[in-house]
Structure 1
Amino acid sequence: MNFKNKEEFWIFYMNHHSNPSTRKWHFIGTLFSIIFLLFSIILTWWFLFLVPLSFYGFALYSHLFIEENFPVTIGYPFWSLYCDLKLFLFMVSGKMDREIKRLGKRPVLQFL
């Protein structure tokens, strides 16, 4: 698929993350990745190994066993990373329900 802009990809991305549990697992993986990145800066660089493991591990689990689809990261790694972080920020800021409504999906309770 060819996407003209980030908004088109965001819609595609959210269609692959329609289950609220999938978004929660992505949130957890991103949160742990940020924590491990900070630990690697503050404590020791060994924590860097845990950054991609947590980031992609939680996401892969959610896609295979909850959403039952294939992660879009494989075909679109940079846009997918952008959308993962956007998803995380929407959830942290409490704006996820509004975004779900904007995209025409059923609203769900916030994770936080």
Structure 2
Amino acid sequence: MNQTTTQASKANSPAGAEKTSHGSLIHIKRPAKLKFYDFYLNEHQNIACRRLHFAGSSFGLLGLAKSIKNRSAKPLLKGIAAGYACAWVGHFFFEKNKPASFKFPLQSFVSDFRMYSDVLRGNLSLKDRKFDKVR
């Protein structure tokens, strides 16, 4: 495949995807950096999953605060464990998908706190998706 064909196929395919000369997708490595949050929100459509993520992030932040106060890593580790447990229950039992953190751990961690911030600012609802202002 020549360079012109490769550039043309990339322009017509989803972010991160490449097409062969036959027009079929080879592989999508990861969502584009600017589009990852959109992907992340698509993975969090279920309200129960969102609530569990919010609770889990809160546990993580409380663990961080307690670790700083007590000068001990133990509360932070407990907060992280509780946070991931909540999130994974939300995905496996309510959302019925695999957590994005399995394939994209850093982007997912950042996006989780962006989602947390959007909930606090009223841009994402924990009651009904029709009240979402993000997207």
After TM superposition, the score normalised by the length of structure 2 is 0.69
5 Å-filtered alignment, 1:11-50, equals 11-45=38-72, 46-50=74-78
SS at match of 1:40: helix
Q: For structure 1, list consecutive stretches of 5 or more residues without a partner in the other structure.
A: 103-112
Equivalent in the alignment of 2:5: none
Query: Structure 1 residue 98 and structure 2 residue 133: aligned?
Result: yes
Q: Identity over the aligned pairs, expressed in percent?
A: 28
Letter aligned with residue 93 of structure 1: R
Q: Determine the C-alpha separation between the residues in 2 that align with 1:49 and 1:10.
A: 26
Higher Rg: 2
**Alignment match of 1:70 (pick from 93, 98, 105):** 98
Q: Determine the C-alpha separation between the residues in 2 that align with 1:52 and 1:94.
A: 25
- The structure richer in strand per residue is 2
Q: How many correspondences in the alignment?
A: 99
| Stretches of 4+ aligned residues off by more than 4 angstroms | none
- Of structures 1 and 2, the one scoring higher in RCO (CA 8 A, sep 6+) is 1
- The structure richer in helix per residue is 1
What is the Cα-based RMSD across aligned positions, in Å?
1.2
Q: Determine the C-alpha separation between the residues in 2 that align with 1:70 and 1:82.
A: 17
C-alpha deviations, 1:78-100, integer Å up to 9, x for none?
Answer: 1001110000000011111201x
Q: Which moved more, 1:39-48 or 1:29-38?
A: 39-48
Letter aligned with residue 88 of structure 1: Y
Conservation of the 8 A alpha-carbon contact between 2:59 and 2:80: no
After TM superposition, the score normalised by the length of structure 1 is 0.82
SS at match of 1:73: helix
Q: Determine the C-alpha separation between the residues in 1 that align with 2:38 and 2:121.
A: 19
TM-aligned CA deviation for residue 20 of structure 1: 1.3
